[in-house]
Structure 1
Amino acid sequence: MRYFNNYPVKLVSLYLIHENCWSKYYLEDDMVNILNLIPYEEKNLLRVFLVSTEKSYKQIAKLKFEGRIRDIFNVYRYYNKILVDLARDYENSIFSIITGNNGIVLNTAKYNGGEKWNFLMYEHKINKTLKELDEVAEIENVNVSDFIPISTTLSDHELKALSLAYEHGYFDYPRRIRSDELAKMLGIKQSTLIYHLRNAERKVIGSFLKKNRSFED
């Protein structure tokens, strides 16, 4: 078997102030989380799907009125959150620079006039990417670390155990149901239930920490 060790992949985390983006003028503490970014290069358009609080959305709508945001296609309230579908210029976007260097964006968010990005990139491309980013943004923090994939796919047994435990208050304080009672409902041993729950918890928590890794001060 051939091993490909020449191009290690790194996890890059950074916080920056983007001069040509609406995020520079979004000064709220409430974090705006980006769900997805879809480029339309031929139209010089980057479609942004985000989740915000109502307070955050009022600020975003104000930025659209001021011409900081190219367009807002749709706004939808989901419980206490607002889902927004908006557009900005694709050219000189942080997304265009990262993906233009074969990077894979994991997640990004806006707050306090800045942006945080987590993305995967071949190690030999990082310096070039940072140099290009520095031409359009003020980079305040960069952290490069080894990328360690974490399995987040739950097995059928893990998903069933986790769902049932959550629905019946196993994670409440105080607990509304005991592990032996859950095991009986699933028709399995108590030790087997705990095994599935621990595996599920490890995967879910690991995925959450990976996606929401903190930035150095």
Structure 2
Amino acid sequence: MIKANLELIHSGDWTELTKGLEVKLISLYYLINPINHINLEIMLFYGNDPSKFISNLKKHNNIYKVINTKKIRRNLFEISFMGNYNDSIRRVLFQNNVIASSLVVEDGVEKFSIFSLNDNNLETVTNSLAKMKNVNLIKNQRRKYDIVDAIQLLTPLESRIIIEAYNRGFFEHPRNITLDKLAEEFGITKTTLNFHLRNAIRKIISNFLYNQ
């Protein structure tokens, strides 16, 4: 698997609204609907009162609807909105079988972390972006990334626990299985299972961050 970090300026896109502002938007969840030409974005907004930004977002040509704005705490808000799929970077990634693992928008720049099974898909993505007259690709870093490297760091029990927890829906919301039930099936205490599960998650996250 190949990982790439892309940074680009997308002229005419809503992301331009962050230019010159002391704000940062981080994608929490997204859903693309190619049939209806819509992207749904749920993002965290870091910054002061977002009312002016939201007002401009509602007026933007690429935004169809601002669904909700929710204050989480001071200087942190959750914003959900629907936008144009056809002129989006997500369309280019989707059409070339590339996974977007994260998106950060700040100062008019879109910063994507993406994964692909091979270099050819990434090459097609960068070529497609280069052909878009309103896109300026300013950063393109690639490297091989193997999630197996992280799995190999786990003990056999940690590996079994985290795979079972994932397959049984422990990480879903709401959870499909409780910590107590998992512990019972492994024949260990809840405290012990929680210890191994947290250890496994810590190792995987540490490996991922080290490979950023």
What TM-score comes out, normalization by structure 1 length?
0.67
Is 1:129 paired with 2:125? yes
Instruction: State the partner residue of 2:68.
Output: 74
Q: CA RMSD in A?
A: 3.1
Match of 1:109 in 2: 104
Shift of 1:117: 0.4
Aligned residues: 171
Task: Note if contact 2:101-2:113 (Cα within 8 Å) is conserved in structure 1.
Answer: yes
Give the 3 Å change call, closer, same or farther, for CA 203–58 of structure 1 in structure 2.
same
Partners of 2:204 and 2:112 lie apart in 1 by 22
2:58·2:64 contact (CA, 8 Å) conserved in 1? no
Matched residue type, 1:204 = I
The structure number with the bigger radius of gyration is: 1
Structure 1, unpaired ranges of 5+: 1-8, 157-185, 188-192
Deviations 1:130-180 (A, max 9, x none): 011121410001101011213498858xxxxxxxxxxxxxxxxxxxxxxxx
Farther-moved stretch of structure 1 (53-62 vs 66-75): 53-62
1:197 to 1:44, Cα distance in 2 relative to 1, 3 A? closer
The whole-number CA distance in structure 2 between the counterparts of 1:96 and 1:84 is 21
Gap change, CA 1:148 and 1:13, over 3 Å in 2 = same
- How far residue 100 of structure 1 moved from its aligned partner, in angstroms, is 0.5
Partner of 1:70, secondary structure, is strand
2:17 touches 2:57 (CA, 8 Å); kept in 1? no
Is 1:95 aligned to 2:75, yes or no?
A: no
Partner of 2:187 in structure 1?
A: none
2: CA distance between counterparts of 1:196 and 1:105? 26
Following TM superposition, by how much is the alpha carbon of 1:205 offset from its aligned partner in structure 2, in angstroms?
2.9
Which residue does the alignment assign to 1:57? 50
Mapping 1:127-166, distance limit 5 Å: 127-134=123-130, 135=132, 136-149=134-147, 150-151=150-151, 155=161
- Give the fraction of aligned pairs with identical amino acids, expressed as a percent: 11
TM-score (norm 2): 0.68
> Which range is displaced more, 95-104 or 77-86?
77-86
